[in-house]
Amino acid sequence: MSTDALDSGLPGRLAAIRARIASAAIRSGRSPEAVRLIAVSKTFGADAVRAAHAEGQLDFGENRVQEALAKQAETADLPLRWHLIGPLQSNKANKVPGAFARLQSVHSLDLLARLSKAAVSAGVDLPVLIQVDLAHEATKSGLDEAELRHVLASARDLPGVRVEGLMLLPPYAEDPEQVRPWFRRLRDLRDTLLAEGVPPDQLRELSMGMSHDFEVAIEEGATIVRVGSALFGSRA
Ligand SMILES: *Cc1c(COP(=O)(O)O)cnc(C)c1O
């Protein structure tokens, strides 16, 4: 595990990211509170999580269940909210309800149905986002637009899980301006679905934007940004 986050720079980096989030929100005509920062702590240790929490950060993102649960155990004394942002195999669905504040990466109806069963038997409610794949990239999971409509409709009959919005992991591009069209497409898709009568509660959140493009994502409507390396340092 890297120890970059233990350098004295973390408070300054976190403050700078918060300031950039606030400016981007204001530029897009929204209040800074309308955008939530998820600190993506994958590959970094519990010490890094503690350092960020000491600066007031409460939301953390992890992309692997095992790693997340280990870190949760090491920081159980802190009031943190953990978000699972990576692809989840259906057979691990029962590990999520109760352990995570939200699962951002639902990519199939099968997974959502299993999460529903697991949430009901754990007696908890699990907020989720649906991961959308606009670019049809073979290496990434996510639903296309037709599948998305089907899952949104089916989700209304599944107890224990609550769809709160959409998540996007667009193709990488060095220049954030080249990513902007993908962010815009997700927002347009959200607006189209609203116009088609999908309940607004299912489309409240747009999780998009990472270290190198979160400001552009916010300008295009992100309500959640997932920032790792810009905060904790580069991953090994
Ligand atoms: C790792 C990861 C991030 C954060 O990436 P950075 O470029 O380090 O900010 C965001 N979202 C997902 C789904 C990730 O896996």
- Residue 88's nearest CA partner among 158, 186, 161 is 161
- State whether the beta carbon of 233 lies less than 6 angstroms from ligand 1: no
Q: Which two tokens stand for residue 62?
A: 């992890």
- State whether the beta carbon of 42 lies less than 6 angstroms from ligand 1: yes
Q: Which atom of ligand 1 lies closest to the CA of 42?
A: 1
Max CA pair span of the chain: 50
Residue 40 to residue 85: CA distance in whole angstroms = 9
β-strand partners of 38: 226
Task: Kindly report the backbone phi and psi dihedral angles of residue 51, in degrees, each rounded to the nearest multiple of 5, phi listed first.
Answer: -65, -40
> Do residues 144 and 190 touch, judged by C-beta distance below 8 A?
no
Identity of residue 145: E
Ligand 1 pocket test, candidate residues 21, 102, 210, 212, most atoms within 8 A of CB: 210
Q: 3-class SS at 112?
A: helix
The kind and range of the H/E element at 206 are: strand 205-207
Task: List the pLDDT tens digit at each of the 236 positions of the chain.
Answer: 444 445 679 999 999 999 999 999 999 999 999 999 999 999 999 999 999 999 999 999 999 999 999 999 999 999 999 999 999 999 999 999 999 999 999 999 999 999 999 999 999 999 999 999 999 887 888 999 999 999 999 999 999 999 999 999 999 999 999 999 999 999 999 999 999 999 999 999 999 999 999 999 999 999 999 999 999 999 97
Residue 45 to residue 232: CA distance in whole angstroms = 10
Q: What pTM does this model have?
A: 0.96
Q: Kindly report the protein residue whose alpha carbon is nearest to atom 12 of ligand 1.
A: 85
Q: Which two tokens stand for residue 27?
A: 């530029």
